[in-house]
Amino acid sequence: MQRRLPPLNALRAFEAAARHCSFKAAADEICVSNSAISHQIKNLEQYLGVELFTRAARGVELSRAGRGYYLTIRAAFERITEGTDLILSLKVPGILTVQVYSTFTIRWLIPRLPAFQALYPSVMVRLLTSQKDVDFENEDVDLCVMIGTPAHTDVHYDYLFSCRVFPVCSPNLLNGAIGLKEPQDLSRFDIIQVYPSEQDWWVWLEENQVHDVDPNSGLRFDSYDLAWYSAAQGMGVALGMEPFVNRELENGSLVEPFPGRRIYTHGDWYLACRSEKRDSPEIGIFRDWLLHEVHRDKAMPQSRQTPAIKPE
- Rounded-to-integer distance, Cα 45 and Cα 47, Å: 5
Q: Where are the domains of the chain?
A: 8-90, 95-161+267-296, 164-264
The mean per-residue pLDDT over the stretch 66-79 comes to: 90
pLDDT in tens, 210-238: 988 999 888 999 889 999 999 999 999 99
- Please give the single-letter amino acid code of residue 149: T
Q: Is the pLDDT of residue 303 over 80?
A: no
Q: Give the orientation angle of helix 8-20 with respect to helix 34-48, to 10 degrees.
A: 110
> Within 13 Å of residue 256, how many CA atoms lie on the same side as its CB?
18
Within 10 A of 217 (CB to CB), how many other CB atoms are there? 10
The mean per-residue pLDDT over the stretch 93-111 comes to: 89
Q: Is the pLDDT of residue 287 over 80?
A: yes
Contact 311, 154 (CB under 8 A): no
pLDDT in tens, 109-141: 999 999 999 999 989 999 998 888 888 887 889
The larger pLDDT score, comparing residue 266 to residue 158, is at: 158
Phi/psi for 32 (5° steps) reads -130, 175
Position 92 scores a pLDDT of: 56
Q: Which fold has domain 95-161+267-296?
A: D-Maltodextrin-Binding Protein; domain 2 (3.40.190)
Q: Is the pLDDT of residue 283 over 80?
A: yes
- Rounded-to-integer distance, Cα 209 and Cα 191, Å: 17
CATH number of 164-264: 3.40.190.10
The reply to whether domains 95-161+267-296 and 164-264 share a CATH topology is yes
- Which SS3 state, helix, strand or coil, does residue 128 take? strand
User: For the residues of 30-77, what is the DSSP string, one character each?
Assistant: HTS-HHHHHHHHHHHHHHHTS--EEEETTEEEE-HHHHHHHHHHHHHH
Within 10 A of 222 (CB to CB), how many other CB atoms are there? 13
Domain 8-90 top-level CATH class: mainly alpha
